[in-house]
Amino acid sequence: MGLNDAEYERICELMKREPTDTELGMFAVMWSEHCGYKYSRPVLQLFKKYREAMEAGGFENAGVIPLNEQFGIAMKVESHNHPSAVEPHQGAATGVGGIIRDIFTMGARPIAILNSLRFGPPTDPRNRYLFEHVVEGISHYGNCIGVPTVAGEIYFHPRYSGNPLVNAMAVGIAPLNQLMLARADEPGSAVIYVGSGTGRDGIHGATFASEALGEDSEEKRPNVQIGDPFMEKLLIEATLEAIQTGAVLGLQDMGAAGLTCTTCEPTAKSGTGVDIEVNQVPTREPGMSAYEIMLSESQERMLLYVKAGEEHQVEAVYKKWGLNAVTIGRVIAENVVRVRQNGEIVAEIPATYLTNECPTYYLDTEEPDYIRAAREFKMDAIPDLDDANQALLKMLSSPNIASKRWVYDQYDWLVQTQTVLPPGEGDAAVLKIRGTEKGIALKIDGNGRYCYFDPVTGGQIAVAEAARNVACTGAMPRAVTDCLNFGNPTKPHVFYQFKGCVEGIAQASEAFDTPVISGNVSFYNESELGEVFPTPTIGMLGILEQVENRVGAGFPESQLTVVLIQPAAFAVNTQQGLGASEYLAVVHQVENGQPAPFLLAEERNLHHFLVKAAEQRLLRSAHDLSDGGLAVALAESAIIYGVGADIVLTEQAADWTERRDAILFGEFQTRVLLSVETGHLDKIKTLVSEYGLQAIPLGTTGGDSLTVRLQGRTVMDLPLSECRKAYQSLSDAMSK
């Protein structure tokens, strides 16, 4: 069950008796890290919205940010790592289903799905199997349910071989005056179970997610839920219609901890309780015990709290859609979750015991030796570039940089017809919001290697890059949802990583005015191969006031000026942007050093510049410099529409180092590559100076090759056909 001896003794102390089997199971899932955040809670207090939510009784199912006076955007990201490791198709599919339910539980219609995926090298048969079937599960569920999968990221590294990461994000839109909360405020109101029947799948899924994978992981397939996207589509429509009746007072998705969670969390917030009869719960299998029913995590289920006397109105809506809708109990004034089977009380626990009394642990931290070594890492032993052409081709064919077309071609990103900047064409997806002139930009991003070698800076960069991606489309970054993936938190070096990353995320989100409005913590991501890289993934929402001002990443035509935007005083550390870089790992097989430091204020200024330039229609394309630095960004911008470029790196762009590899492949923050009409160049320079940045013209677009000259000599000259072949290598290999 995942409880230790002290926790069991605390339960007995609270209850003043030994718990029943059902009660013990309920405590076990609610006091797991997955539900109770007993290890992460003290650190998450660094997030302002988290502190406010805890003071108000707890987070809601998803965070909401206003779009305008009428509508709000709901968003949330969660992990389904362990289930996907043992059953990749269903693990990934139910991850999508669960996060979508968090959205429409708020009264929001789901309009977009994103995902962040991490696997071991795809050349390994097991990793390839997981990769293929996770993508298959995501595409199956999303395509069937009719919600577009519009953006994502995929990263490969041996550290994920034993434990892949599957993070699913969903976004929805809701009228602000009809938002639903997970509350049970009115004694006497009906507790109505809706959706699919309850089975034995997923029992103890929350505790399964709160322990490391081991040799017995394959035996834990019963902990993985089975999804039915067609049932979920019906549940979306029925729930949104039921909300319109005005009879629904509160509701919650039956995700982790199932019926236990949906009875204790809303009542704990409201200071009420419930009295339910589990024999009224629709089940898929005969003879299920109260323990199994209370802990099952079967999919496509919700619990509604409905005004007394209006139950039949709500039940009629669900039955019209062919779904179960059964009153299983009532809200009571006493703050107790009372569970009966055949009328006999099998569990009776104060709701706050399951939520507020979950123990809190203040774990030790210890900076690992490898971080101290990374600080002192010198580039002296790394030879400079001999052949920039071959280095670029090698970088473009790296699985972490190469095109993911094989993946997103399996996703229906056109359904609902709101996606106006699709996968592969921009730094973030852009959706037009019907009934308005506004658009939203969506991105999910992270870099585990950065966070491994420098947790605080890595956390900052995760937020900065996601925000920069959104700003490159012309959208102002507005809010963050995060999924924090780490190893066993009781290991001091792992908790050091976690604490540092959260500090960095909190600092950056506050600096950019992009609050963390929802999220998820996933610990115990390790196996016999060791723990994964510390991997916080950041889901970023941006808002465009005029969606027609959106900007893509590709050079759209010839005879445009290519411009590099970067800080006015370009900071360079001793590792020259190559510490912890993709270039160092791919070309030299060296993983060491630390990501280059940067200033959050300058990064924020860059976002504001990009939004203002897009509003003034000064940009033809915008693409951020991240993995692979300038050379990779140039190649990617050229490949998208097949428009080459002739680049000359002047002293202003290249006088800070004598290393060609640092100039071409160094990874510095707060840098963006633009293409602009030549007549707008002066306006760009004037505008960028207002934000304390500099604009450096690099050359012109055109032709069918990428040419780069440095210090009077050509250092790179490649046909786009060769660049494209390298860039498509991963997708080509996966298609065979």
Helices (H) and strands (E) in the chain, counts: 28, 27
Of 26, 54, 483, the C-alpha closest to 263 is 26
Q: Which 3-state string (H, E, C) describes 26-39?
A: HHHHHCCHHHHCCC
| Phi, psi for 53 (deg, rounded to 5) | -65, -40
| Phi, psi for 668 (deg, rounded to 5) | -110, 150
Which residue carries 């921009």 as its tokens? 426
How would DSSP label each residue in 552-575? -SS--SSSPEEEEEEESS----TT
Q: How far apart are CA 273 and CA 294, in angstroms?
A: 16
Q: How far apart are CA 231 and CA 322, in angstroms?
A: 9
Question: Can you say how many angstroms the Cα of residue 433 is from the centroid of all Cα atoms in its chain?
Answer: 21
692: region left, alpha or beta (phi > 0 left; psi from -120 to 50 alpha):
left
Q: Where are the beta strands (DSSP E) in 246-323?
A: 248-253, 273-277, 301-306
Alpha-carbon distances, residue 115 vs 92, 165, 175, 360 (angstroms): 10, 10, 25, 30
Token pair of 658 as six digits: 């004598």
User: Among the options 34, 89, 133, 607, which is catalytic?
Assistant: 34
- The residues pairing with 563 across neighbouring beta strands, listed in sequence order, are 674, 697
| Phi, psi for 651 (deg, rounded to 5) | -60, -35
Token pair of 433 as six digits: 């919001």
Per the CB < 8 A criterion, the answer to whether 601 and 460 are in contact is no
Of 34, 83, 5, the C-alpha closest to 207 is 34
Token pair of 114 as six digits: 């994103």
Cα-based angle 34, 35, 40 (whole degrees, multiple of 5): 65
Active site residue 588: no
CB atoms within 10 A of CB 203: 24
Q: Which residues contact 480 (CB under 8 A, 6 or more apart)?
A: 463, 466, 505, 509, 514, 515, 516, 517, 519, 538, 539, 540, 541
Per the CB < 8 A criterion, the answer to whether 292 and 258 are in contact is no
- Position 298, amino acid: S
Alpha-carbon distances, residue 109 vs 96, 179, 664, 712 (angstroms): 15, 11, 44, 57
DSSP one-letter code for 532: P
Token pair of 679 as six digits: 């007549």
Q: How far apart are CA 327 and CA 338, in angstroms?
A: 15
Per the CB < 8 A criterion, the answer to whether 424 and 405 are in contact is yes
User: Among the options 80, 89, 133, 493, which is catalytic?
Assistant: 80
Please tell me the total number of residues recorded for the chain in this structure.
736
SS3 assignment, position 328: strand
Active site residue 133: no
CB atoms within 10 A of CB 188: 12
Buried b (16+ CB within 10 A) or exposed e, 552-571: bbbbeeeebbbbbbbbeeeb
Buried b (16+ CB within 10 A) or exposed e, 468-483: bbbbbbbbbbbbbbbb
Per the CB < 8 A criterion, the answer to whether 195 and 300 are in contact is yes
Burial of 215 (0-12, 13-18, 19+ CB in 10 A): exposed
Positions annotated as catalytic residues are 34, 80
